[in-house]
Structure 1
Amino acid sequence: MTKHQHTDSDMSGRRFFWVTVLNVVITIAEFVGGAVAGSLSLLSDAFHNLGDSLSIVISYFAHRISRKPQTETNTYGYRRAQIITALLNALALILVCAILVIEAVRRISHPEPINGTLMLTVAVIGLAANVISALLLSSGSKNNLNMRATYLHIMSDALSSVAIIIGGILIQIFNWTWVDPAVTIAVAIYIMYESAPIIKETIKILMEGAPTNLDFDAVKNDLLALPDVKGVHHLHAWLIDENNIIVSVHVNLSDMKISKAEVIYDQITKILKTKYGVCHVTIQAEASRGVNQDIIYDQGKDIP
């Protein structure tokens, strides 16, 4: 691991730590404030933050596990620990939101008195802490699904705080107690909507799905343009995580020495890595076998 990677990992670790501390503070404040004020949106956000705190801790350990080197039992390493965590975090968000919507509907039918002033004060504190947490995680969330899922937790909390602040103001001015559960429903729907793409992407990775930006026909044409490459078939591409693409491919070469074939191997590897962002390439050379077969293996059978 390079010095840059160590530094980046250490920074991510520190960010996870401080975000966890901030979430614990928010959780305690909202549990107490929600119970005293009688606010469902505050209590629901407190449960949400409690789940976030746990998910952030899990995300941190997944981040640490993903740094472990390859072993005989995990030859591609442990990067998918973060993918699994991202999936579990997103699923947990949807489950919590569904429960909150059910309770909010009940509250609309049976409204309860709410202390708008206390609700507003706690929500402002929560918003400040969430904004700081979001800033700590924003840079790492661009290229890391695990941090992106955690970042989504934080952003959803910030949105919840904004909605609760608006609700608190309306309750103070107009005594509209129905605003509290209505805010809960609106925020829950938004969180579920934002969680769906993470679930879709993580499942695709875990199912060995090919990256959407990899043009198989373009890859085939680029490889066929190389001298002595007569055919390209049985190309398999999959993602280890959201940033690392693995490719295996069969190529038909002219009959030649291994030393000469290695030169072509290097050319193929360079094309796949520089043009298509592939991090690991496995090449199987053949003379005439499979020369007329498609680039994607599909003969109604299992993977050869």
Structure 2
Amino acid sequence: MDDHNHHDALSGGKFLFVTVLNALITLVEFLGGIFSGSLSLISDGFHNLGDSLSVILSYYAHRISGRKQTHKNTYGFKRAQIISAFINSVFLIVVSGFLIIEAVEKLMHPEKVDGGLMFIVALVGTLANLVSAILLSRGSKGNLNIRATYLHFLSDSLSSVGIIIAGILIQFYGWYFVDPLVTIAVALYIMFETWPIIKQTIYILMQGAPDIDCHQLRQDILNIDGVTNVHHVHLWSIDENSIIFSAHINMRDMKISEAEKIYQPITDLLKSKYHIDHVTLQAEVERGKQADFFFDQGPDIK
């Protein structure tokens, strides 16, 4: 997905609408939870509060990531979105953990709940969260930051559906224990959906290599006329869409102008076949000719 689509997913109008809508729903659910005695409504209110903060953080990070490189940030600001996705995901995990603890306590000591009021408030919350999720769904497929925010709203939609069902069961059958059960189920689902985002953002922040067949990549470079060896390779991601590659290329002794003619097909190969955005190559004749493909000389880069 290109940058234009990402920007459209969190355009100013949508951002303002989603933020205001969730602020209103948060207030409604907090009041509904207090007056009905429903923990699941209050927990959903906390999720919606998190959603509002998530949208603000995501939008701000999205705008920052579009800035050009500077002398202090030579790779630009793309990782702002990765950091935002990480913070949003950790927030969801922490809140879900606290809600599970509170729900277990409620499960052991059930309290009377107004199922009718639960149903009405949850129905309004479901509609609002679905609208927010739909507005962000377009940009969630190719952007971890937007996906983390999108999951906030999707999880709240599912939470509200669970509360609707709980409200019906409480209203007609007096099953007050269903309220904390729904809270636990939704919290566990949120953790399940959020954990992969946390893992991926940590992997990117730790400069992990993208999912590329490095054996085939090495062979493709060696097949280029004039290349005798490739070594001292570094391969990492700036975000989930931007890949950086650097390597030392062994070739016969020649003029720099001749070496540049070999650089170009290597760069074209890496960009077209492996979708690598930034390529840095260093020409060598004998130096490092017997070195390994990946740089490995201890824990520090030298």
Greater Cα offset, 293-302 or 26-35:
293-302
Tell me, in whole angstroms, the C-alpha distance in 1 between the residues paired with 2:163 and 2:38: 9
Greater Cα offset, 8-17 or 260-269:
8-17
What do the CA deviations read for 1:169-222 (whole angstroms, capped 9, x no partner)?
A: 1111211000000000010011011111010000011101100x2111111100
Given that residues 9 and 136 in structure 2 are in contact (C-alpha distance below 8 angstroms), is that contact kept between their aligned partners in structure 1?
Answer: no
Q: CA, structure 1 residues 100+156, in 2 after alignment: closer, same or farther (shift >3 Å)?
A: same
Tell me, in whole angstroms, the C-alpha distance in 1 between the residues paired with 2:92 and 2:106: 21
Aligned residue among 234, 247, 250 for 2:248: 250
**How far off is 1:10 after superposition?**
5.0
Tell me, in whole angstroms, the C-alpha distance in 1 between the residues paired with 2:40 and 2:116: 14
Q: CA, structure 1 residues 115+301, in 2 after alignment: closer, same or farther (shift >3 Å)?
A: closer
State percent identity of aligned pairs.
58
Corresponding position of 1:217: 215
Corresponding position of 1:78: 77
**How far off is 1:84 after superposition?**
0.5
Corresponding position of 1:140: 139
Corresponding position of 1:302: 300
Tell me, in whole angstroms, the C-alpha distance in 1 between the residues paired with 2:299 and 2:166: 58
**How far off is 1:56 after superposition?**
1.1
Corresponding position of 2:288: 290
**How far off is 1:110 after superposition?**
1.4
What do the CA deviations read for 1:107-153 (whole angstroms, capped 9, x no partner)?
A: 11111111101100111111111111111111100011100000011
Corresponding position of 1:199: 198
The reply on whether 1:12 has 2:14 as its aligned counterpart is: no
What do the CA deviations read for 1:16-52 (whole angstroms, capped 9, x no partner)?
A: 3222122112111101111111110001110111111
**SS of residue paired to 2:236:** strand
Q: CA, structure 1 residues 7+296, in 2 after alignment: closer, same or farther (shift >3 Å)?
A: closer
Paired positions, count: 300
**SS of residue paired to 1:235:** strand
Q: CA, structure 1 residues 83+218, in 2 after alignment: closer, same or farther (shift >3 Å)?
A: same
Tell me, in whole angstroms, the C-alpha distance in 2 between the residues paired with 1:88 and 1:225: 44
Q: CA, structure 1 residues 170+301, in 2 after alignment: closer, same or farther (shift >3 Å)?
A: closer
Tell me, in whole angstroms, the C-alpha distance in 2 between the residues paired with 1:223 and 1:263: 14
What do the CA deviations read for 1:64-90 (whole angstroms, capped 9, x no partner)?
A: 111111000000000111100100100
Tell me, in whole angstroms, the C-alpha distance in 1 between the residues paired with 2:124 and 2:23: 13
**SS of residue paired to 1:89:** helix
Tell me, in whole angstroms, the C-alpha distance in 1 between the residues paired with 2:299 and 2:101: 46
**How far off is 1:6 after superposition?**
5.6
Greater Cα offset, 256-265 or 266-275:
256-265
Corresponding position of 2:148: 149
**SS of residue paired to 1:20:** helix
The reply on whether 1:266 has 2:264 as its aligned counterpart is: yes
**SS of residue paired to 1:249:** strand
Unaligned runs of 5+ in 2: none
**How far off is 1:275 after superposition?**
0.2
Corresponding position of 2:159: 160
Tell me, in whole angstroms, the C-alpha distance in 1 between the residues paired with 2:158 and 2:187: 10
**How far off is 1:11 after superposition?**
4.9
Q: CA, structure 1 residues 77+152, in 2 after alignment: closer, same or farther (shift >3 Å)?
A: same
Instruction: Name the amino acid aligned to 2:125.
Output: G
**SS of residue paired to 1:232:** strand
Instruction: Name the amino acid aligned to 1:42.
Output: L
Instruction: Name the amino acid aligned to 2:151.
Output: L
Tell me, in whole angstroms, the C-alpha distance in 1 between the residues paired with 2:3 and 2:230: 35
**What is the TM-score normalised by the length of structure 2?**
0.96
Aligned residue among 259, 262, 276 for 1:278: 276
Instruction: Name the amino acid aligned to 1:41.
Output: S
Corresponding position of 1:68: 67
Corresponding position of 1:169: 168
Q: CA, structure 1 residues 128+301, in 2 after alignment: closer, same or farther (shift >3 Å)?
A: closer
**How far off is 1:299 after superposition?**
3.2
Tell me, in whole angstroms, the C-alpha distance in 1 between the residues paired with 2:21 and 2:270: 43
The reply on whether 1:53 has 2:45 as its aligned counterpart is: no
Given that residues 6 and 143 in structure 2 are in contact (C-alpha distance below 8 angstroms), is that contact kept between their aligned partners in structure 1?
Answer: no
Instruction: Name the amino acid aligned to 1:134.
Output: A
Tell me, in whole angstroms, the C-alpha distance in 2 between the residues paired with 1:208 and 1:218: 21
Aligned residue among 231, 237, 240 for 2:238: 240
